[in-house]
Amino acid sequence: MIDADDLIALVQNYNPKANADLIARAYDYGARMHEGQVRHSGEPYFTHPIAVAAILTEQALDDATIVTALLHDTIEDTRSTFSEVEKEFGTEVAELVDGVTKLTNLQLSSVETKQAENFRKLFMAMSKDLRVILVKLADRLHNMRTIRAMKPEKQVQKARETMDIYAPLAGRMGMQWMREELEDLAFRVLNPEARNSIIRRFITLQRETGDVIEQISADMEAELDRAGIDARVLGRAKKPHSIWRKMEAKQIGFSRLSDIYGFRIIVNTDADCYAALGAVHQRWRAVPERFKDYISQPKSNGYRSIHTTVSGRDAKRVEIQIRTREMHEVAESGVAAHWSYRDGVRAENPFAVDPAKWIASLSERLDSAEDHAEFLEHVKMEMYADQVFCFTPKGQVVKLPRGATPLDFAYAIHTRIGDSCVGAKVDGLRVPLWTRIKNGQSVEIMTAEGQRPQATWIDIVATGRAKSAIRRSLREEDRARFIKLGRELARVAFEHIGKKPTEKALKTAAKQLGVDDASELLARIGSAEMTARHVIETLYPGLSRKAGDEIDTARAVVGLNPGQTFRRAACCQPVPGERIVGISYPGKGVMIHGIDCAALVDVEEESDRWVDLHWQEGRHPAAHAVSMDLTIANDSGVLGRICTLIGEQGANISDLVFIDRKPDFYRLIVDVETSDIGHLHAVMLALEADTDVSSLGRHRDLERRP
């Protein structure tokens, strides 16, 4: 475990003006807060925050981010509070620590709907301050480096979450080194046999061919030196997971995989980049369609570089990236380069993007998703997308993911253009709408008034934005027709039982069935997703209640001793189907209360009086009175209709008392005899659906406690 002085030295290596006192105080505070806590490995817990801070020093990040790393688990896992952190270290640090805490509490590996909602929260946190994500990524990286101490099932969960979410997020932010390491660490857990196999192949290959990386690097340096270009060549073998992904995508074995080595040529100027490219292509044969110029067309996260692939020694394919030193810094740090320091001052890197603008561009296309599944589809497409650049007829650049079609292009311009698209030209030639656009092509969209999206377009487009717009248009077109049909089906079904499908009745049914509103309920009826009969049975189940053998009310409860009698408590009026408990009273037998009755507080210390009871299984008679607090409109015939509704549900009114009389409303207590909790809910649901019922609830009277 490195001490405070060592950590401060790491920061001062790139920022001599760093606030050493602030970092030292944060170190001491974190150590005190985590004192006595241990990790799964048995190490002191504070070794983890220190390691996270050390990872972030490799990105040359500012003091606030380093301090946040030291404190990132204090609010969640210790007695520390937001107010205390704010008092000790300032509002900026406190808000960053709080942001990391909230991200930690997101269960990102949960089911799809919840996962999509958590992605929304994740992007909200990113939009507030991207440094929260930088700390969280470093936190995940150290946890993955030490994951062997966790239980096997927990390792798999964390590895899958890392592979699905954190690794692509790091890549989307331009931190490619972190993405590759996270993927490889997760790969080691999820498929150790495949990873070990690739490593063994590498060892064998190196034994057979020698150090290929050193040989090729020397060749390149010599060629660039002959061309008079001052350059540094960095070579490396690709990570096992990257190789495995290529083998899976191309369906080929390791022996047939050629581009397993990657090289970077670092030069001084933009002009040197193109000069180096010329020197490389003169010496080695370029592989067709493997050239990308991200200097003239940078990625949205600030990434700039020239990519090419050539046939090197023994016809082995070699991937080469050519960039300047400043471009290389952004390529290594991505969006994090905005906060990096060099020689004590914030690095003025012209290629570092403004984080606020970057997150705005990332989120822009995600805002139009209307449901969770669409949002998740947007996110995953945006995070995994490899881009192509194409042009409008006027020369404007449009960025699209690889595999995009003219329809994606049309929707990227404007939803209206996409909806009315009838054809497309690519480089002046008419092409089918399912054509895949390539880098540098010019695309022209043809539109027609009155054209609407087709259902088959969903399978053609590649972008989340286009899919969302097409689905939305198709829903809107069908929705009006389905609502009209659903309303007619509902009218017929309600008339069959002598009722009307009022807006209140439909709204009540929608709520009961978990549907957004009455319109959505009608749309589902019209589209045959739900039947009108199901709605009727939900609102008025009493109309179809069947008679049968009923349980004797004297034997309705199980758990009494021989000779014991029971009564229902008037304060809570429990009915069959509800959880109950008995309280014995000398000379009065056992009084039955609902398990949530407030009157039980009076006897909670007298456990000897409590009797474990439950209701007899079977059909109970409608003999259990329940008081309902009801407010109805003061109009002619309303009270009679309410009484009829109760009777239709097979329930009897045993008492009715007016509590309050107003010119427009009556409030009354109605005692209704029901058979069980389901019967009671049916009665209350039928009443709630009536237009003239403004409020309804069970009446609890603690004054009537035993």
Tell me how far apart the alpha carbons of residues 566 and 569 are, in angstroms, rounded to a whole number. Answer: 9
Reference 301, options 119, 165, 177, 171; nearest CA is: 171
Beta-sheet pairing, 443-447 with 610-611: unpaired
Cβ atoms of 424 and 448 within 8 Å: the answer is no
Q: Residues with catalytic annotation?
A: 76-77
| Interaxial angle between packed helices 240-250 and 176-190, expressed in degrees from 0 to 180 and rounded to the nearest 10 | 80
Beta-sheet pairing, 589-594 with 566-568: parallel
442: exposed, middle or buried (Cβ count in 10 Å: 0-12, 13-18, 19+): middle
Q: How many C-beta atoms lie closer than 10 Å to residue 478's C-beta? A: 14
DSSP category for residue 44: B
First to last CA, the chain: 66
Cβ atoms of 321 and 262 within 8 Å: the answer is yes
The amino acid occupying position 374 is E
E strand or H helix at 67: helix 63-71
Tell me how far apart the alpha carbons of residues 62 and 130 are, in angstroms, rounded to a whole number. Answer: 13
CA distances from 484 to 260, 503, 530 (A): 61, 14, 15
Give the position of tokens 């070579």: 235
Tell me how far apart the alpha carbons of residues 69 and 132 are, in angstroms, rounded to a whole number. Answer: 9
The amino acid occupying position 68 is T
3 state DSSP class of 36: coil
Please give the full DSSP string across 74-99, using - where no structure is assigned. HHHHSS--HHHHHHHH-HHHHHHHHH
CA distances from 265 to 235, 309, 327, 560 (A): 9, 13, 11, 87
Beta-sheet pairing, 387-391 with 397-401: antiparallel
Contacts 24+ apart (CB under 8 A), 176-181: 176/331, 176/332, 176/334, 177/332, 178/137, 178/141, 180/239, 180/241, 180/242, 181/141, 181/239
3 state DSSP class of 549: coil
Q: How many C-beta atoms lie closer than 10 Å to residue 412's C-beta? A: 21
Q: How many CA atoms lie within 13 A of 551 on its CB side?
A: 16
Give the position of tokens 């590498």: 202
